[in-house]
Amino acid sequence: MRFALTIFTLLIVAKASAQRVDTLAVYDVPEVSVTAQIKQAGLIEHSVAKTEVFMYDAERESIDDMRSMSSYAPNFYVPDYGSRMTSSIYMRGMGARIDQPAVGLYVDDAPVLNKNAFDFDVFDLRSVKLLRGPQSTLYGRNTMAGVMDVHTLSPFSYSGTRLAAEYGTANTVKVRASHYALVGEEVGVSVGGYFRHTDGQFTNEYDGERLDWEHGGGGRAKVEWRNGAMSLSNTFSVDATNQGGWPYRLIDKASGEKLQTNYNDPSNYTRLSLSDALRFAYKGDNYTLTSVTSWSYLDDCMTLDQDFTPRSMFTLQQAQREHTLTEEVIVKYDPTKRYSARFGAFAFYKHLNMAAPVRFKRDGIDELILANANKGIQTMFPDHAIEIEEREFDITSDFRNPTWGAALFHTSEVKLGHWSLGAGVRFDYEQTTLRYDSRATIHYRFTMTMPRFKQLDSKFVGSNRKSFFEVLPRVAVNYNAPKFNAYATVSKGYKAGGFNTQIFSDILQNRMMTDMMEDLGVYLDQTGPSYDTAEATGYKPEHSWNYELGASYTPSPKFSTDVSLFYIDCRDQQLTVFPAGKSTGRMMTNAGRTRSYGVEATVDWWPVKNLDLRAAYGYTNARFLKYNDGNNDYRGRYVPYAPQHTLSLSGDYTWHVNRTLSRIRLHADWRSVGRIYWNEANTLSQPFYGLLGASVAFDFARWTIEVWGRNLTGEEYDTFYFVSVGNAFMQSGRPRQFGVKLSFDF
Amino acid sequence: MKIFKIFALAAMMFGMVACDNEQTPEPVIDLDTTSAYNGTVSVVVNGETVSTPNSLIEIVPSEDGKSFSIVFKMIKFVPQMPALDITIPTVNYTIEEGVISFVAEGIIPICMGGEFPQYIVTQLKGTITATSIDLSLKFGEFETSFKGSLQTNA
């Protein structure tokens, strides 16, 4: 930590001059997209806490996916654990580990509705805007903590070819190539692709192999047409991933020591995601109309040693296929300079098919099923037991989950001098249905009475439907002067309810034991968790009211700062819990009520020529006001997994050298988060920690070579904690990494 | 399946109630289907009688109608044991004046998926009327009795 601060201090006191200079001529086109402008203008632009990163800063800060924005924006935390499927995002004390995300993601105006597809490489990033706090009035479902709005480079903003190749620790290779061109004056096209590979940094002690290896690639093709008041564009993207992961370390129950990762069954994740977005915009005399139509397809499969031990207990394979269609139409109406309004309609349909068989192996059969079953029986007949013939068997779980929704929204804004008053409301309806079919067949016998094994079939089949209607208002008052802006907002956030698909193997396991006991005519006093009902497979929506005050001050082009204060009253907060005992699943539950308050501040300062400094700090105090899970009362405890502090410090110094070596750039950043509680009881936590990163880049006329390092101090920290079959596990953070990157722009 | 019913008591009762149209006819004993009886089971454990009210037994007729099985549902002999279903198979009976009587010795009951000689049934005797059952027996060392009334015809 001290070393990190020393390096950072040395950098920020170094001689400096001049402001940021972009290596690419992409800043001459100010617009990002018409749709985003319409959504974020007025009410949103001036009355929301936001962090915006453009291409130059994104490449300098190595921001190329959602995780790399973690803690760069205040109170925004995306832990790096598990695999690319586990895109947990926390903002202002709210977040989700599974199912519905609390932060929405939009890429080139198209929503990404499935959290499993959040973690991908965004090459040629033009801008990332992170809106903090509920954005449900304009963005709808699952944006109650914020929205990340990503825009990629347009052929109307840049023409030419971009190439980059990178090599780093653990044989990490990244290659990308893209080309942007105008075909005539009205049509622009771009095409690009990337490839990535890494051997991984974490080793499985069981076989000595690396766990977090990965190879994958993808591409994007974009066609844009602009003709006066009309524009049309289509963006097609593809991403394919094949990776290992989950370097989870068992915590020794006696000593509390984290043991080395050691498990026997293969674990990997494959994902293919495709998306296509068609955007249309028309600008009339006093109105603008936009339409975004998107389709996305996700096909992924996770194979997991779910006990994460060298024992053969149980594995999970979860394969999903999902199609999603969305349509959004917005009309912005500006009849006078003082009044403007937006009218919007949004609809979506997605259909998910999922197969998630859990394979119980011999140790799991003995420990998770038979031990529990025989416990009661052997009180009476100590010399006899129930036996299962199979060495392994599957609990199959097949799900069909169609979901559709529709929304209408409106905002109005009145300007009175420096003041503006705005109000908006969204009416949002959603319906989701889960059809489930969970089955298992085993052969069992009771040694005392049954000479032969007998077949036992168990099943849990049915359907469950949930629908939600939400009214999502937002009111804002804004004072906007040339150098000073202040706002106050009250808004409601909403996260959809859903189904606990990960608990079905637990339910069927429980049902198998009940069926077996009924078949035997044995009735134990308590056979296990009592969630064997269709109702227990679902969870309710989460709602929040957000009260926010904010201000920004830009006295000169060399200095800008903003600060925001927030208070969030969250009801029915969705939290992941692990059923008591030696259960194998996890489930979302509505926690009752929590409140979160905090502060966020960002400072950008160019104190002298060539020196650029930035600091971003976030504080969140999120506690349960009411949460009793049936076993414990967690009132007053901190909400787990969400950090209390985030701090990002960065500094850049640039030397302009000569015509051949145009400049040398030094960059350093320190990203820190903590404390993070790992459980509702707040008995385990990760203290505040920081990661130092640095790079030096040599810019020539057409190419750049950059040497970089991350976690330079070798900070040891944890990124994740969970419990499975009564065992607790941690994942450690990534150790020190180095790399070199060569890039060309011509 | 051969069907037989016992009408004797019913016929007698029918004659008595025929003049009273508002009264419900007395039920007949129906050994065509399973009959369930709710009552109190008493088990003598270590010299003490433990009675459990709201207990259930079922009389399940055989295919040929010549015998029936008695199924004790969720019976406990000692508090710490799990409740068990115990079936006494192939109990022969006689009928006299509408009352079924049965006596049996040395039947091995079915319990926990198979024959359970530890609970061999001895000294079984009892009667079934149109509305009630009364029986006593020994399950191994456990003296057991049950008195109950007809609940439903399953």
pLDDT along chain A (746 residues), means of 10: 43 34 39 60 72 84 81 90 85 82 89 87 87 87 88 91 95 96 92 95 94 94 92 95 93 91 94 95 90 96 92 92 96 87 94 94 88 76 88 93 95 91 93 94 91 92 91 92 92 88 81 86 64 68 92 93 94 72 64 90 93 95 86 88 95 90 93 92 94 95 94 94 87 94 92
Closest alpha carbon to B154 in B41, B40, B66, B58: B58
Cα distance between residue A259 and residue A253, in whole Å = 10
Cα distance between residue A721 and residue A686, in whole Å = 10
Cα distance between residue A363 and residue A603, in whole Å = 56
User: With an 8 Å Cβ cutoff, is B106 touching chain A?
Assistant: no
Residue B95 in this model has a pLDDT that exceeds 50: yes
3-class DSSP state for residue A115? Answer: helix
Between chains, do B80 and A523 touch, taking CB under 8 Å as contact?
A: no
Residues in chain B closer than 8 A to A445 (CB atoms):
113
Angle at A643 between CA A639 and CA A645, to 5 degrees: 130
3-class DSSP state for residue A154? Answer: coil
Read off the amino acid at residue B50.
V
pLDDT of A423 reads 92
pLDDT of A114 reads 87
Structure tokens at A657: 């050298």
- Give the best residue of B45, B81, B112, B118 to mutate against chain A (max A CB count within 10 A): B112
Burial of A422 (0-12, 13-18, 19+ CB in 10 A): buried
3-class DSSP state for residue A79? Answer: coil
Alpha carbon separation from A41 to A36, A220, A256, A412 (Å, rounded) = 8, 28, 52, 12
Residues in chain B: 154
User: What is the CA A336 to chain-centroid distance, rounded?
Assistant: 40
Q: How confident is the model at residue B24 (pLDDT cuts 50, 70, 90)?
A: very low
Phi, psi of A40 (to 5 degrees): -100, 0
Q: What pTM was estimated for this model as a whole?
A: 0.84
Structure tokens at B62: 């055989």
Beta strands in A228-267 (DSSP E): 230-243, 248-250
Buried/exposed code over B61-94 (b: 16+ C-beta within 10 A; e: otherwise): bbeeeebbbbbbbbbbbeeeebbbbbbbbebebe
Closest alpha carbon to A250 in A292, A301, A338, A313: A313
User: With an 8 Å Cβ cutoff, is A184 touching chain B?
Assistant: no
Structure tokens at A226: 């602009």
Cα distance between residue B59 and residue B72, in whole Å = 9
pLDDT of A584 reads 59
Cα distance between residue A528 and residue A585, in whole Å = 13
Largest CA distance in chain B: 54
Residue B44 in this model has a pLDDT that exceeds 50: yes
User: What is the CA A690 to chain-centroid distance, rounded?
Assistant: 21
Q: In chain A, whose CA is at the least distance from the CA of B72?
A: A521
Q: What ipTM did this prediction achieve? A: 0.75
H or E element that contains A37: helix A34-40
H or E element that contains A456: strand A454-480
Buried/exposed code over A149-181 (b: 16+ C-beta within 10 A; e: otherwise): bbbbbbbbbbeeebebebebbbebbbebbbebe
* Secondary structure letter of residue A531 according to DSSP: -
- Starting at the edge strand found earlier in the chain, the sheet holding A103-107 runs A49-54, A125-132, A146-152, A103-107, A110-112
Residues in chain B closer than 8 A to A446 (CB atoms):
112-114
Between chains, do A380 and B115 touch, taking CB under 8 Å as contact?
A: no
User: With an 8 Å Cβ cutoff, is B83 touching chain A?
Assistant: yes
Phi-psi region of A443 (alpha: psi -120 to 50; beta: other; left: phi over 0): beta
Cα distance between residue A550 and residue A555, in whole Å = 17
pLDDT of A183 reads 92
Residue partners of B25: CB distance under 8 A and separation at least 6: B10, B13, B14, B17
Burial of B47 (0-12, 13-18, 19+ CB in 10 A): exposed
pLDDT of A534 reads 56
User: With an 8 Å Cβ cutoff, is B115 touching chain A?
Assistant: yes
Residues in chain B closer than 8 A to A380 (CB atoms):
80-82
H or E element that contains A505: helix A504-520
Q: How confident is the model at residue B96 (pLDDT cuts 50, 70, 90)?
A: confident
Residues in chain B closer than 8 A to A377 (CB atoms):
82, 112
User: With an 8 Å Cβ cutoff, is A523 touching chain B?
Assistant: yes
Between chains, do A380 and B82 touch, taking CB under 8 Å as contact?
A: yes
Q: In chain B, whose CA is at the least distance from the CA of A384?
A: B112
Nearest neighbour of A521 by CB, restricted to B80, B85, B115? B85
Closest alpha carbon to A351 in A320, A383, A319: A320
Nearest neighbour of A449 by CB, restricted to B82, B83, B116? B116
Alpha carbon separation from A575 to A98, A99, A498 (Å, rounded) = 9, 10, 12
Alpha carbon separation from A719 to A193, A196, A433, A643 (Å, rounded) = 31, 23, 34, 11
Cα distance between residue A368 and residue A312, in whole Å = 12
Distance from CA of B121 to the nearest CA of A (A): 16
Neighbours of B33 (CB within 10 A): 12
* Secondary structure letter of residue A69 according to DSSP: G
3-class DSSP state for residue B105? Answer: coil
Asked whether B148 and B132 are in contact (CB, 8 A), the reply is yes
User: What is the CA A151 to chain-centroid distance, rounded?
Assistant: 17
Structure tokens at A155: 């052929």
pLDDT of A33 reads 59
Read off the amino acid at residue A43.
L
Asked whether B140 and B116 are in contact (CB, 8 A), the reply is no
Residue partners of A315: CB distance under 8 A and separation at least 6: A265, A303, A304, A305, A306, A358, A359, A361
Q: What is the pLDDT of residues A354-363, one digit of tens each?
A: 999 999 999 9
3-class DSSP state for residue A206? Answer: coil
For chain B, how big is the Rg over CA atoms in Å?
A: 16
Kindly tell me the sign of the dihedral angle through the C-alpha atoms of B134, B139, B144, B147.
Answer: negative
Residues in chain A: 746
H or E element that contains A5: helix A2-12
Cα distance between residue A675 and residue A183, in whole Å = 53
